[in-house]
Amino acid sequence: MKKWIGNKNFYRKVLLITMPIFVQNGISSFVGMLDNLMVGRLGTDALNGVAIVNQFFFVFMICIFGGVSGAGIFSAQFFGKKDYEGVRNAFRFKLIACTVISVLAIVLLATKGDFLIQLYLHKESGVGDLAKTLEYAQTYLWVMLIGLVPFAMSQVYASTLREGEITMTPMFASAIGVVTNFVFNLLLIFGYLGFPKLGVLGAAIATLIARIVEMLIIVVSAHKGERSAIIMKGIYRTVKIPMILVKRILLKGLPLMINEILWVVGMVTITQCYSNRGLEVVASLNITSTISNMFNIAYIALGSGISIMVGQLLGAGKLDEAKDTDRKLVAFSVFMSMVLGSIMILCSSVFPEFYKTEQEVKELAKMTIVIAGIYLPLQAYTHAAYFTLRAGGKTGYTFLFDSIFTWVLIIPLAYILSTKTTLPVILVYGLVQGTEFIKCIIGFVMLKSDKWMINFVDEIHY
């Protein structure tokens, strides 16, 4: 069992790295729910307008995540090697990449925002006022555009700090951001304490203020902190990056960014396939995904832990220790998800009752939550395998493992079962989710091969 289970010091380090990420992800999920609830108090048109615009910003966030991830796998290995100039160069690459992504996003949304919004507005819709929804969406969009840059900057700094095992600063900044958002939501949406009642505009301004506050905390703390100062010293001395490093990051980073985008589109497409069976299916799956997101936080945080801990060991040339650490982290992730999946199943009849919806939707949601709980450990394993491959720079493998698998197998299966058969929708959902078995086998073979155990920064010299 020692092969799969670490000692107290091992788990102390794991918790030290992953717990702040776990808390930060939980806070982010909470603030998203908070915004929805508060804007929902303004009516259906306001909620729909904000929801439409947030679809665009979600895609932007995923692009930023992809932009920092490619350089991030180098940053983690450089830190493990104690090559702090390498970390700084990876930071500079992130900064340039995220600046380019932000400018492109601002230009696109500023010039084509109305067109993109109207793609969601259909005359045959029987719910809401289309003109009002468009007006709310436009108002929200123009303020939120200003927030793209602070968000991107926060991710550049936060990701670099986490890769250097400084996880408390991003968590603290995120927590302050949530409190700021909540307070200004109350003041500006509803006009409490003498503030103007701005509705959707107030929600946008509150989010913008929160993002600026979060960015300032992360940036100032990074440059003033005793531990982070080692990394940040001379960070803006130059914007030049060794061409050999640029080429390596692009080679490994582009597949990550493309993968993230294809994954987002793939998830939307799968939901669209299910929608052929009726809106009650969409509603029940919305409940299930909301509940699942609460329980997914654990394996998502442990995936980040794998990226950081295993990446640092690979960068330090400790390949055997990296393999041992990875094996124990994967086992821990699966075990935690078994526990959380069991809790999901036991509570499956409780969660849907919090929603004011038809009984048919609630009953369907109860069954899909049970299925989601059963497959949670498998999802934990595939997620851990993905981050293991990423830590070793096998981004081409992650692209095949994630996006290609989704588009070649899962989406066609969901489409065929949903539209070409009369199978009960709960069986369709179960069969589609069952593709995780195949993905687990592929992941197991990839990890077993040890081809991911690569120190790819040792050969980079300046």
Each residue's pLDDT, cut to its tens digit, for the chain (462 residues) gives 677 777 788 788 888 777 777 776 776 666 655 665 676 567 657 766 776 777 778 778 878 887 787 788 788 777 777 777 888 888 888 998 899 999 999 999 989 888 877 766 655 444 456 778 788 888 888 888 998 999 999 989 888 888 877 778 888 888 888 888 888 988 988 888 888 888 888 888 998 998 899 999 998 888 887 677 677 777 788 778 888 888 888 877 777 778 877 887 787 778 767 767 765 676 677 677 777 877 888 888 888 788 778 877 877 777 788 888 888 888 889 998 999 999 989 988 887 776 656 677 788 889 999 999 999 999 999 988 888 887 776 767 777 778 888 898 999 999 899 888 888 889 999 999 999 999 899 888 888 877 776 665 555 555
Whole-angstrom Cα distance, residue 168 to residue 16? 9
How many other C-beta atoms can be found within 10 angstroms of the C-beta atom of residue 185? Answer: 24
The reported pTM is: 0.70
**CA-based nearest residue to 362, from 350, 370, 352:** 352
Torsion angle, alpha carbons of 311, 312, 316, 322, to 10: -60
Where are the chain's structural domains? 1-241, 252-462
* Assigned token pair, 292: 């699942």
Q: How many C-beta atoms surround the C-beta of residue 248 within 10 A?
A: 19
**CA distance readout (Å), 80 to 264, 328, 370, 400:** 31, 19, 41, 27
